[in-house]
Chains A and B, each alone.
Chain A
Amino acid sequence: MRVIVPLQGVVQGKVGLFWGSVIPCALFYFLQLYLKRRHRSQPPSPPPAPSPEATSPPPSPLNSSEKLHEVSVLPRTLSRILLSPRGVSGPVYVSSRANSIAKTGDSPYYVGLKKVDEDLCHEIDNPNGVIQLGLAENKLSLDLVQDWLEKNATGTILGEGNCRELNISRIAAYQPFDGLMRLKVAVAGFMSQVMEESVFFNPSQMVLTSGATPAIEILSFCLADNGNAFLVPTPHSPGFNDDLRCRTGVEIVPVPCRSTDNFNISITALDRAFNQAKKRGQKVRGIIITNPSNPVGNLLNRETLYSLLDFAREKNIHIISNEIFAGSAFGNEEFVSMAELTEAEDHDRDRIHIVYGLSKDLSVPGFRVGVIYSYNENVLAASRKLARFSSISAPTQQLLISMLSDSRFTHKFIGINKLRLQKLHNLFVAGLKQLGIECARSSGGFYCWADMSSLIRSYSEKGELELWDRLLNVAKINVTPGSSCHCIEPGWFRFCFTTLTEKDIPVVVERIRRISEAAKSHA
């Protein structure tokens, strides 16, 4: 009799029959054990299919089985037993997630922010301090918000009327985690308003979160499993990487955009990045775009949006469109929301998810209000539940309901804010131009995306960071280097101009001039 068992080729001789059957069984057992431990971190890779073909010789040679064995079992049990009985345990375990999270934040973006914290420039108290051009904040129209709050804050939080018990309940008691319906209605109205009524937003497709940061995180939890990937055009907003990845375990596949296209997304680049990721074995679950883009400030036009949609449809992936700057578009170009396209088509909306927030367009980042707007019922249902980890305080919600429902105020605010943005942007760009520094064309957002590649000593990331360091420590201005935004070309810098006033601009330009002259004389 000749029995051929799965591993017959490997184990020969008399005992071959025995080992040839036992080893594959053992391998399966370990595989199972291994998968069991790991499966929470990842959805199971398809388990061995029960078809006869699949059970034919497991191709794994012995050494790989040994590896598997080692990885799954040995180190775990040993270490603890050795440590515990003595009680002189070393430092207590901190999860590897916590360790990697604690390590983030050494990028120049955070270093700069921290430095400003310690030595902030102040007209009178600290005129030689660091000027903040790194934090994406708009202080141009805070006076309008302030006026409104002074007049209305108290009344709106407690509410008016005689039914006092009801009034305290509406701020002190538990509220739906995903936001009050009345606030959703108000936010939907505000969103339509900033997009010039080109779209209507349905409040029931909305989930409110404590800021746009958790909104994006919740979406990535909902759309991708651990180890899956998103395509993200670069340059993107600094810190975005850490935010997206640290808890979700999702990967980012950069899609490099170039200065020759004014950093616009090209479908070719997308396609290339997608295929490369696929070759690496990564599962791409979606594209995350920012429109108007951060840092560049350009808008995606209708054709680009349509081709993105086609691309997503072809690959069967999601699109997250971050439109948090929608109301801060100041150019003549028309802003087109992804929602507008989706409205026009009545099928296949499931893949579109829009992120919004009040931090930029209403300049109230301190309020922590973000929005998930999705057409996908499953994603909405899951996000509503996840909102328990990121919900907005009820008094703030009450305050915003009245603020956003005051359409006279919002109308005035949006108009004036855009004018001020445009004016300051033009002044700042002109100031940089005097120094020979050109900016990418932009029509929205709080930034100038400036090309300082002529000032860097070596055309590389190193040269860029050197310049950044001189700007921070010598010229005392904190800007964001392109490398923090994962820009592929060195020498670009993000200047946030909305924390300045008109009279600050000459000061900033003067400080840059010193550096640029030094750089030029050096060259």
Chain B
Amino acid sequence: MRLIVPLQGVVQGRGGLLLGSLIPCALFYFLQLYLKRNRSSDSSVDPPSPTGSSSNLTELQRSSSRSHLSRDGSIGRIRVSSLASSLAEPNDSPYYIGLEKVSEDPYDRFNNPNGIIQLGLSENKLSFDLIEKWISENLNQSLIGNDVTLNINAIATYQPCDGLKECKEAVSNFMSQMMGGSVNFDPSNIVLTSGATSAIEMLSFCLADQGNALLVPTPYYPGFDRDVRWRTGVDLIPIHCRSADNFSLTITALEQAFTQARKQGVKVRGILISNPSNPVGSLLSRRMLYYLLEFAREKNIHIISDEIFAGSIYGSEKFVSFAEILDSEDFDKDRVHIIYGLSKDLSLPGFRVGVIYSFNNNILSAAKKLSRFSSVSAPVQQLVTSMLSDERFILEYIEINKNRIRQIHDEFEARLSQLGIECARSSAGFYCWADMSGLIQPHSEKGELDLWDKFLNLAKINITPGSACHCIEPGWFRICFTTLTLEDIPLIIERIRKVVETCKSSA
């Protein structure tokens, strides 16, 4: 008998049969391993999609076929970059599916009472009336100025991409006010960007190279995956926090995540934390901040602190900014970068104003150059400058806004509690981080997504499942309450109750 195996030509003799089969098998195994890893990081989840595994194949075919085809002008589809082809796929995260679904069928008390209620988008509409009043009284003056004629050169012509000086000054004052006056922010350490989204991306570009990673405590804001990963090629490594600790960061988990990443050969360049945290709403203690600084120094890595909710505190705990600690003590400032923005604390997401506040001159100068891709339009900067400089308005706004958030939070949490749904302890932000693990069946991500689906399609409310926030424990949901009014709450509770009851009866 004569068996011919793939490597027969190379491996001869009696052992040839064995080695000739073994070696190709081993090669295949590695190839497969390679492709698998490739795909899983490609962010497109469905394996049969032509993005991951077959992209090499299609490329091969194309180069050989192109020359034949081109002459008759009938060519297959033109290639787009691998980033574009993965982005062109429909959204697969429930977070974005939910948002899309709401935009198709939004609830309206009068026009669409059976529409979906949006509890997934983090927006604060509680104090829109204050903003509205200010703008309608001052818009004219802030755009046109005190003179009768409008200074066209201040708004129409090219301005520094990283923000107008006056605007930076106003923003830095506003930041100190928001943080209770305990810190001074230096306007020259500020780069303004079109929203905190681009601020985060820009920092990731500057702090890490492709293939490097940032540690991030879970559960985290679902947008981080897009902001950090998409274009920079930087990876996020989760630090798992648990309900037993009220989802606050622990030293052990941090060390563990870092060591594990290092074992895998991944270079960790920094820690990305949100403080107050999104979605949980807890604050980092002063001790934890000190510890993080120590840790970052020991490992020689950066800290990105997303403090975009700093002014939306409703609890009694006091918020401590990284800037405050760096102000008072002699730490290595170069490694700390703060993200801020007007979308949350001033409820102006439509204005797209984000802030990078860094002590590192290299990072600042790189970010200033990158800001040409994400600058804020000049008329809006003028508007923001005069709004933030109106101290009386700002003080009043901060006070009223906090009270309103507190009021609606307390009410909402109490009503959820009546349904038997408990929330994690929180003192800031726009969310309830609610434990519905008692309602899911099975106790896994699948059960969680089933429940989410019921909320979205039966109860018609869009909330964010914990898995979208990379929470390690199934059954937690992020519910944003700041788009509501007090009158909406009974309706929502009623819709939730229906789901709760069907879950309980089926169990």
A interface with B by C-beta (< 8 Å): 1-6, 21, 24-25, 28-29, 32-33, 35-41, 43-44, 46-48, 50, 52, 55-57, 76-77, 80, 83-85, 87, 89-99, 101-102, 104-105, 135, 137, 139, 142-143, 145-146, 149-150, 153-154, 157-158, 164-165, 167-175, 210-211, 213-214, 217, 221-226, 228, 242-243, 246-247, 285, 313-318, 348, 350-351, 363-369, 376-379, 381-382, 385-386, 388-396, 399
Contact = CB atoms under 8 A, between A and B. Distances in A.
Contacts of A228: 81
Given A316-B79, A389-B231, A393-B376, 10 more contacts: A4-B12, A41-B210, A52-B7, A52-B24, A225-B82, A313-B70, A382-B80, A385-B87, A388-B197, A392-B352
B300 A93 contact: yes
Q: Which 4 A-B pairs have the closest CB atoms?
A: A366-B378, A394-B350, A89-B300, A382-B87
A317 B232 CA distance: 24
B150 interface: yes
A309 to B, nearest CB: 10
B370 A101 contact: yes
B447 interface: no
B128 A165 contact: yes
A386 B79 contact: no
Contact of B70 (A242, A316, A389): A316
Contact of B377 (A84, A368, A379): A368
A395 B383 contact: yes
B377 A210 contact: yes
B347 A172 contact: yes
Contact of B297 (A39, A87, A389): A87
Interface of B: 6-7, 9-16, 19, 23-24, 26-28, 30-31, 33-35, 37-38, 41, 55-56, 59-60, 62, 66, 70-71, 73, 75, 77-85, 87-88, 121, 123, 125, 128-129, 131-132, 135-136, 139-140, 143-144, 149-150, 152-159, 194-195, 197-198, 201, 205-212, 226-227, 230-233, 235, 262, 265, 267, 269, 297-302, 332, 334-335, 347-353, 360, 362-363, 365-366, 369-370, 372-380, 383
B78 A55 contact: no
B56 A44 contact: yes
A172 B348 contact: yes
A22 B13 CA distance: 19
A224 B81 contact: yes
B37 A36 contact: yes
Contacts of B348: 172
Contacts of B78: 316-318, 350-351, 376
B23 A6 contact: yes
Majority secondary structure of chain B interface residues (helix, strand, loop or mixed): helix
Nearest to B208: A95
Contacts, number: 378
A395 B262 CA distance: 46
Contacts of B128: 165, 168-169, 172-173
B56 A395 contact: no
A361 B465 CA distance: 46
A97 B370 CA distance: 11
11 contacts: A1-B13, A3-B15, A33-B265, A40-B233, A93-B269, A146-B149, A153-B379, A173-B350, A285-B79, A316-B75, A365-B156
A88 B31 CA distance: 42
B11 to A, nearest CB: 6
Contacts of A50: 24, 27-28, 31
A289 to B, nearest CB: 17
Contacts of A351: 78
A172 B131 contact: yes
Contact of B350 (A24, A143, A172): A172
Given A168-B132, A390-B373, A92 B15 contact: no
Contacts of B299: 80, 84
A364 B347 contact: no
A80 B349 contact: no
B143 A153 contact: yes
A44 B352 CA distance: 36
A388 B226 contact: yes
Contacts of A242: 369
Contacts of B267: 76, 80
Nearest to B86: A382
A368 B82 contact: no
Given A225-B83, A386-B230, A38 B152 contact: no
Residue picked from A24, A150, A242, most chain B C-beta under 10 Å: A150
Contact of A154 (B80, B85, B139): B139
Nearest to A144: B152
A131 to B, nearest CB: 16
Contact of A366 (B35, B140, B210, B377): B377
B363 A35 contact: no
A391 B80 contact: no
Given A153-B144, A168-B132, A390-B198, A55 B372 contact: no
Nearest to A367: B377
A247 B149 CA distance: 41
Contacts of A83: 300
A364 B156 contact: yes
Contacts of A139: 157
A65 B72 CA distance: 44
Given A92-B335, A164-B132, A394-B350, A4 B10 contact: yes
Nearest to A173: B350
A316 B67 CA distance: 9
Contact of B349 (A35, A173, A316): A173
A117 to B, nearest CB: 9
Contacts of B14: 1
Contact of A80 (B23, B79, B300): B300
Contacts of B135: 157-158, 168, 171
Nearest to B76: A316
A247 B370 contact: yes
Contacts of B34: 32, 35-36, 44, 47
Given A46-B56, A95-B212, A393 B13 contact: no
B125 A391 contact: no
